[in-house]
């Protein structure tokens, strides 16, 4: 995995700070996400649940929205933090949402308050993915 250690630490701190804003009174599973965009900026998000359960959304979705509204269009890396001890992995829907703004080489990092736990590429988590290029037929 080739993302500088200091940038990974910045993503970790941003993700944990975002996680503190989680609105997750139903699952009590607070999640934070930090996205590194093509301009080297970091965008943050937390999961936001809803009393009408299906209307809640994931931390990755919040962070993607923040990135797009700031003008970012490429995700270079994403760090997702959960409560631990089990390693968090982005849900299937978020893997696809990330695919819109990144290719198979996207670095996905999992963490918890104890630190970074795991690295994957998007290709590992979403093989044979459907992406924007499929619509250039």
Ligand X SMILES: O=c1ccn([C@H]2C[C@H](O)[C@@H](CO)O2)c(=O)[nH]1
Residue numbering of the annotated binding site: 47-53, 58, 91, 94
From Zn ion, ligand X, none, interface partner of 36 (C-beta below 5 to 8 A by class): none
Residue among 10, 11, 67, 59 at smallest CA distance from 31: 59
Is residue 24 involved in binding ligand X (CB under 6 A)? yes
Is residue 108 involved in binding ligand X (CB under 6 A)? no
Binding test (CB under 5 A) with Zn ion, winner from 12, 14, 94, 102: 94
Catalytic residue status for 60: yes
* Spatial separation of the C-alpha atoms in residues 137 and 134, rounded to whole Å: 7
Close Cβ partners of 1 (under 8 Å, ≥ 6 residues apart): 107, 119
**From start to end of the chain, where are the E strands?**
32-37, 42-46, 75-81, 107-112, 115-121
**Residues interacting with ligand X, by CB under 6 A?**
24, 27, 29, 31, 47, 49, 56, 58-60, 80, 88, 90-91, 94
**Residues interacting with Zn ion, by CB under 5 A?**
58, 91, 94
């Amino acid at each position: 995995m080739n993302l500088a250690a200091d940038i990974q630490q910045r993503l970790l701190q941003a993700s944990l700070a975002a996680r503190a804003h989680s609105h997750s009174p139903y699952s009590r599973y607070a999640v934070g996400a930090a996205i590194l965009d093509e301009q080297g900026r970091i965008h943050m998000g937390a999961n936001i649940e809803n009393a009408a359960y299906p209307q809640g959304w994931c931390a990755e979705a919040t962070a993607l929205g923040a990135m797009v509204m700031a003008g970012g269009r490429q995700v270079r890396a994403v760090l997702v933090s959960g409560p631990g001890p089990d390693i968090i992995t982005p849900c299937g829907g978020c893997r696809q949402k990330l695919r819109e703004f990144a290719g198979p080489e996207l670095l996905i990092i999992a963490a918890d308050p104890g630190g970074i736990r795991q690295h994957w590429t998007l290709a590992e988590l979403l093989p044979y993915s459907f992406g924007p290029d499929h619509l250039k037929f």
